Amino acid sequence: MRKTQQKKRGKFRNQKEKIIKKKSTYLLSGKNKWVPRKKTISPYPYLITISYYKSNVFFTVADIKGHTKGWISTGRIGFKNKDKTTYMALIKVAELFYKKVWNLGVRRAILKFRNLSKRGPRAAIRNSLRKIRRLYPVKYLALLYETQVSFNGCRRKKKQRK
């Protein structure tokens, strides 16, 4: 009898070790059963906003209701001063951001660009998205451009105001 009990204990220990190793893919339900975890890929599109400012660039992800799921900026990564708006900073931030987006389960998105009136940053962001799209193929459903222009027109230069 002792031998059979030892064998059972040994098997149980091995099974327990296997389950512990697979903890990331299995979830313990309320009835003490291990159930495979479902991958969370949302069928609804998310809103990815790329905001370009003079001193920083922000990438944010939000669901349709507007709740922010994640964000990153060039300043948050470690770039300082004028380096925050350079071409290399944009590419590095975009790579990290899309890795984060992919891990969240975003496969369909609406891209929204803010303050991209200048040609330089527009080209940098477009090229960075083109490079990253091969690694993380997020499907874009729409592209929205939003630039801030005052209703009264832009302020004239000092020479023209005199």
Q: What is the pLDDT of residue 23?
A: 45
pTM: 0.63
Q: Could you say which DSSP state residue 115 is in?
A: S
In this structure, the number of other CB atoms found within 10 A of the CB of residue 89 comes to 22
Q: Quote the tokens at residue 159.
A: 């020479």
Tokens read off for 121: 């940053």
Q: Tens place of pLDDT for every residue, the chain, 162 residues?
A: 555 555 555 554 545 444 444 444 444 445 555 555 555 666 778 999 998 888 888 999 998 888 999 999 999 988 898 888 888 888 888 888 988 888 888 888 998 988 877 777 777 777 878 878 788 888 888 888 887 766 777 778 888 776
State residue 20's pLDDT score. 46
Q: Are 77 and 48 in contact (CB under 8 A)?
A: no
DSSP single-letter state for residue 26: E
Alpha-helical (H) ranges within 35-106 are: 74-77, 87-104
* Residue type for position 108: R
